[in-house]
C-alpha cells in the first residue's frame, strides 16, 4: 500500500494492513500454516522472547496471516492496535484479563447477548470477578453502580437481540470521569456503521464470526485498542502500569505507550490463555471483510423493507428495528450509526410462545441457526435457545421475551424474504 493516507472505508477494507507477500509477490494474504518460525541466531531468539524486537516466535502468539487481519481491524476501527483470538467470547475475556483481579467488578448493560450475560454473571465468578447489570438508558444508575473496585464499563453498540442502540456519547464521559475504560461490543454494527472509538470507547471487541466474515464458515474474535487510555493515571491497572515479573520487570505502558494493551494481549493474554485464532480462519475473515460495506448496505436495505412490512402485519404485535419511525431509538441510531440501523431485530407475535415456535418451524428461506450476520437470513427463538439459561425477567430485560423471535436479515431479495415470512406467520396463526 502506498504512503498516501487512505481514509475511505471501502479502500481500507480491501487494502489496510496487507502488502504483497515479500517472498512470492502473492497478492492475497497467504495462509501461513505453521506452528513456529526459525530464528536467525540465538541473539535474535533472545530479543524476541524479551520483547525487545517484534517478530514471530510461535503461532499461539503471532502469525503473519493473523497479523494482517489484526492490522486491518485496527485500521477499520480507528485504533492503535488489535489482538485477534478464537471467538467473540474469547475476545471479551481477553479484553478484561489485564484489567480485572479478584474482587473487582465491571458495570454492564442489561441489554446484551444471552451468552454474554451468562459469561459475565456466572463464569466470571470463578475468576473472582463480578458484573453489575444496569439499564444503560439510566445514566444516574450507571454512575451509582461504579465504585472503587470497578475496572470497566461494558455495552453493545446495537444490542443483540433487540436492536437497542446504546448512547455511546453519553456513556463514554461517565467511564472517563470514573477513570475506567469503556469497552464496546461492536459485533452487530461493525466498523462500517459505527466506530465506537470515535464516540469515546477505549476498547472495541467483536465476534468476527458474524458480519465481518459474513459467510458462516469460521469463528473468531478481536479486541481493538484505541491507544488513548492512560493506564498509569492510577494504580487500578497494575498489569499494564507496574513491572511485569514474567518479563524481568518490564512496564508495558512505559515501554510500549499507546501499544501497551496490544502487546500485553499477545505477550501475556495469548501466551497464557491460549485463545489463538488459526491462520485459515484469519484468511476467511480477511476475504469476508473485503466486501463488508457492500454486504452491510444490502443487509440494511433489506432490513428496513422487511421491518416496515412486518410492522403492518396483523399477527405481529411489535417490531424493534431502530430504523422504524416507531422506534424510540431512531434518532439515536441516526447519530450513533448514521449509515443505517443494522439488520438485527426482533418481532413480538400476538400468539405468544407457541406461535413463535410454530413460526420458526414454518419458515423455508430463513435458516434456523444460532448465529447472526450471515449473508443468509437467519431466525431463532431466543427465549428457548440463546437466552434459555436466563430467568424470564432477565429475558425481558435483554429484549428476548418468550413471545419474541429474533431475525437476522440477509442479502437475498427482500420480496422473497417477505413472502417466506408471510406464509410462516399465517401458519403460526
pLDDT tens digits for range 21-43: 888 888 899 999 999 999 999 99
Euclidean distance between CA atoms 381 and 405, whole angstroms: 5
Helix, strand, or coil (residue 339):
coil
Looking at residue 207, its pLDDT comes to: 98
Partners of 82 in beta bridges: 224
Sheet holding 182-185, edge to edge: 81-85, 221-225, 203-207, 182-185, 150-156, 105-109, 130-134
Q: Which domains does the chain have, with CATH numbers?
A: 9-288 (3.40.640.10), 293-428 (3.90.1150.10)
* Residue whose C-alpha is closest to residue 211's, from 227, 238, 239, 189: 189
Q: What is the pLDDT of residues 9-24, one digit of tens each?
A: 999 999 998 888 888 8
Residue 1 has pLDDT above 60, yes or no: no
114-121 and 88-96 helices, crossing angle to 10°: 40
Which residues contact residue 145 at a Cβ distance below 8 angstroms, ignoring those fewer than 6 apart?
A: 107, 132, 134
* Residue whose C-alpha is closest to residue 225's, from 255, 254, 188, 266: 266
> What average pLDDT score do residues 411-423 get?
98
Q: What is the pLDDT of residues 113-145, one digit of tens each?
A: 888 999 999 999 999 999 999 999 999 999 999
H or E element: which one contains 356? helix 352-362
Looking at residue 29, its pLDDT comes to: 93
Looking at residue 384, its pLDDT comes to: 80
22-31, 47-56, 72-81: range with lowest mean pLDDT: 22-31
Looking at residue 392, its pLDDT comes to: 80
Q: What is the pLDDT of residues 226-268, one digit of tens each?
A: 999 999 999 999 999 999 999 999 999 999 999 999 999 999 9
Assign 192 a pLDDT band (cuts: 50, 70, 90). very high
> What average pLDDT score do residues 318-334 get?
96
Average pLDDT, the chain: 95
Q: What is the pLDDT of residues 138-189, one digit of tens each?
A: 999 999 999 999 999 999 999 988 889 999 999 999 999 999 999 999 999 9
> What average pLDDT score do residues 407-424 get?
98
Look-up: residue for cell 493516507? 5
| 285 grid coordinates | 475473515
Looking at residue 163, its pLDDT comes to: 86
Looking at residue 3, its pLDDT comes to: 60
Assign 402 a pLDDT band (cuts: 50, 70, 90). confident
71-411-82 Cα angle (round to 5): 15
Looking at residue 191, its pLDDT comes to: 98
87-91, 250-254, 275-279, 369-373: range with lowest mean pLDDT: 369-373
Helix, strand, or coil (residue 218):
coil
> What average pLDDT score do residues 182-201 get?
98
Residue 101 has pLDDT above 80, yes or no: yes
Q: Are 206 and 215 in contact (CB under 8 A)?
A: no
Phi, psi of 312 (to 5 degrees): -95, 5
Assign 396 a pLDDT band (cuts: 50, 70, 90). confident
Report in angstroms the alpha-carbon separations of 401 from 114, 394, 425. 12, 9, 18
Looking at residue 114, its pLDDT comes to: 84
This prediction has a pTM of 0.94
H or E element: which one contains 406? strand 404-408
Amino acid at each position: 500500500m502506498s504512503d498516501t493516507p487512505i481514509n475511505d472505508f471501502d479502500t481500507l477494507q480491501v487494502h489496510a494492513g496487507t502488502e504483497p507477500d515479500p517472498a512470492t509477490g502473492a497478492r492475497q494474504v497467504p495462509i501461513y500454516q505453521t506452528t513456529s518460525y526459525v530464528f536467525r541466531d540465538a541473539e535474535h531468539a533472545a530479543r524476541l522472547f524479551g520483547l525487545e524486537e517484534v517478530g514471530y516466535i510461535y503461532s499461539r502468539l503471532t502469525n503473519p496471516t493473523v497479523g494482517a487481519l489484526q492490522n486491518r481491524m485496527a485500521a477499520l476501527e480507528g485504533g492503535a492496535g488489535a489482538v485477534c483470538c478464537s471467538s467473540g467470547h474469547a475476545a471479551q475475556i481477553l479484553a478484561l484479563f489485564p484489567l480485572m483481579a479478584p474482587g473487582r467488578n465491571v458495570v454492564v448493560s442489561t441489554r446484551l447477548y444471552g451468552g454474554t450475560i451468562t459469561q459475565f454473571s456466572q463464569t466470571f465468578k470463578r475468576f473472582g470477578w463480578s458484573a453489575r447489570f444496569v439499564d444503560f438508558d439510566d445514566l444516574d444508575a450507571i454512575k451509582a453502580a461504579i465504585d472503587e473496585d470497578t475496572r470497566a464499563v461494558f455495552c453493545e453498540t446495537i444490542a443483540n437481540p433487540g436492536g437497542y442502540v446504546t448512547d455511546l456519547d453519553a456513556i463514554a464521559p461517565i467511564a472517563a470521569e470514573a477513570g475506567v475504560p469503556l469497552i464496546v461490543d461492536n459485533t452487530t454494527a461493525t466498523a462500517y456503521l459505527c466506530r465506537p472509538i470515535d464516540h469515546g470507547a477505549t476498547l472495541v471487541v467483536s465476534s468476527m464470526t458474524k458480519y465481518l466474515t459474513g459467510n458462516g464458515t469460521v469463528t473468531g474474535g478481536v479486541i481493538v485498542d484505541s491507544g488513548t487510555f492512560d493506564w498509569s493515571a492510577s494504580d487500578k491497572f497494575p498489569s499494564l502500569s507496574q513491572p511485569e515479573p514474567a518479563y524481568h520487570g518490564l512496564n508495558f505502558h512505559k515501554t510500549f505507550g499507546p501499544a501497551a494493551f496490544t502487546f500485553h494481549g499477545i505477550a501475556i493474554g495469548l501466551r497464557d490463555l491460549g485463545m489463538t485464532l488459526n491462520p485459515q480462519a484469519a484468511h476467511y475473515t480477511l476475504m469476508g471483510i473485503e466486501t463488508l460495506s457492500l454486504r452491510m448496505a444490502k443487509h440494511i436495505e433489506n432490513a428496513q423493507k422487511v421491518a416496515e412490512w412486518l410492522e403492518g402485519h396483523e399477527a405481529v404485535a411489535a417490531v424493534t428495528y431502530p430504523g422504524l419511525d416507531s422506534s424510540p431509538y431512531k434518532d439515536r441510531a441516526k447519530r450513533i450509526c448514521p449509515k443505517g440501523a443494522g439488520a438485527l431485530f426482533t418481532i413480538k407475535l400476538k400468539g405468544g410462545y407457541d406461535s413463535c415456535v410454530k413460526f420458526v418451524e414454518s419458515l423455508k428461506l430463513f435458516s434456523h441457526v444460532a448465529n447472526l450476520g450471515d449473508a443468509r437470513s437467519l431466525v431463532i427463538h431466543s427465549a428457548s435457545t440463546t437466552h434459555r439459561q436466563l430467568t424470564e425477567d432477565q429475558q425481558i430485560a435483554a429484549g428476548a421475551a418468550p413471545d419474541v423471535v429474533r431475525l437476522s436479515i440477509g442479502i437475498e431479495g427482500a420480496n422473497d424474504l417477505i413472502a417466506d415470512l408471510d406464509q410462516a406467520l399465517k401458519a403460526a396463526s
